[in-house]
Amino acid sequence: MNEFDLIERFFAPLAGPEGLRLKDDTALYSPQTGYDLLLTTDSFVEGVHFPKGMYGADVAERLLRTNLSDIAVKGGAPLGYQLSVSMPSEKMELWIPAFAKGLATTQAEYDFTLWGGDTTGTDGPAVFSVTMVGQVETDRMVRREGASIGDDVWVSGDLGNAMLGCALVTNQVISPAPRGENLFLFETAYWRPEPVFAYRAVLRQFASAAADVSDGILADASHISKLCDGCAVLNFDALPFSLGGESWAEAQKDPIQARQSLASFGDDYGIVFTASPVSRQAIFDAARNAKLKLTLIGSMQKGQGAVCLDVDGQEMAWPQKGYSHL
């Protein structure tokens, strides 16, 4: 099956009208008035961003969902994406059908389409790159830049399931072994992180700045603090670990260090954001009304970077501030 047959059979059915049936090599999009466009690119290298030999549908879902997360954190909605696939030609015929199935599932769930891309052979590890295009009402993008000294620092959802999921997926021994029901939960957290579209209204109403939780909570918070010449000061005891993460950490020789690992792993794809303390009660109320989990984890203070304080208010030694992709 050559490049054109593969595109015709597996990718063309995923294309929206902007993709011109993938018969052209350029997509055509007529912007709606009243909206800005958001563009974000995330690339996955086999063996670096996901383990070798994984099922195509899982890889596809994780690839799209991490890109969707970037759009969600900006307060936007997805429109479509350009997809670059580089993998050994001889593997494509076997692997691409499931990959395309994962793309289709995610597209249907979040209502966006494939616009175009490129498919190339390589004798190295597979590399997938997505450029996702989204839109947000004009001048309403929630940026990384915009926090003020004194702002509260919030995080959505839980931390920790993605690390345990990654351990399971890569056949690492987790001790104590999570119960059966949790296995699926953890693997799902790893393969199918939930983009935070549900938090969109809260974000847009209250957030002064936001980033997704992908590199580790300190690293992600410092993406924000760097842009306001501040230091994100987080309270370790306030960090919202997942039930599974908490019970795993509690059983470790050094539970505190275990929790640090969970928090540093990233990949949970929640949102860390800042907001004025004036809005604190309103944010709690909005979260309760919308049944969203939001936790106040610290504040933006003078200084730089991000630190975590222990229960005595002392800065904790932190083994690894986050994941650098190099």
Give the residue, chosen from 56, 78, 102, 117, that forms a contact with a copy of itself under the rule CB under 8 A.
Answer: 117
Considering the complex, state which of residue 30 and residue 289 has its C-beta at the smaller distance from a copy of itself: 30
Considering the complex, state which of residue 106 and residue 135 has its C-beta at the smaller distance from a copy of itself: 135
**Shortest distance, position 211 Cβ to a copy of itself, whole Å:** 8
Pairing of strands 77-87, 127-137: antiparallel
- Report CA 120 to chain centroid distance, whole Å: 26
Cα 162 from Cα 147, distance rounded (Å): 27
The residues in 192-211 that bind a copy of itself, with binding defined as CB under 8 A, are 211
SS3 state at 225: helix
**Shortest distance, position 185 Cβ to a copy of itself, whole Å:** 27
Cα 205 from Cα 207, distance rounded (Å): 6
Stretch that binds a copy of itself, among 29-37, 171-179, 184-192, 296-304 (CB under 8 A): 29-37
Q: Does residue number 28 form part of the binding site for a copy of itself (CB under 8 A)?
A: yes
Considering the complex, state which of residue 42 and residue 268 has its C-beta at the smaller distance from a copy of itself: 42
Contacts of 114 (CB under 8 A, 6+ apart): 11, 14, 15, 16, 19, 22, 80, 81, 83, 103, 107
State phi, psi for 61 to the nearest 5 degrees. -65, -45
**Shortest distance, position 314 Cβ to a copy of itself, whole Å:** 28
Q: Which residues pair with 119 in a beta bridge?
A: 85
Between vectors from CA 18 to CA 74 and to CA 117, what angle results, nearest 5°?
80
Stretch that binds a copy of itself, among 20-28, 159-167, 281-289, 308-316 (CB under 8 A): 20-28
Give the residue, chosen from 9, 16, 20, 198, that forms a contact with a copy of itself under the rule CB under 8 A.
Answer: 20
**Shortest distance, position 320 Cβ to a copy of itself, whole Å:** 13
15-54 burial, b at 16+ Cβ within 10 Å, e below that, comes to bbebbeebeeeebeeeeeeebeebebebbbebeebbeeeb
Binding site for a copy of itself (CB under 8 A): 2-4, 6, 18, 20, 23-31, 33, 35-45, 47-49, 70-71, 73-74, 82-84, 86, 89, 92, 115-125, 127, 129, 131, 133, 138, 141, 143-145, 211-212, 226-227, 324-326
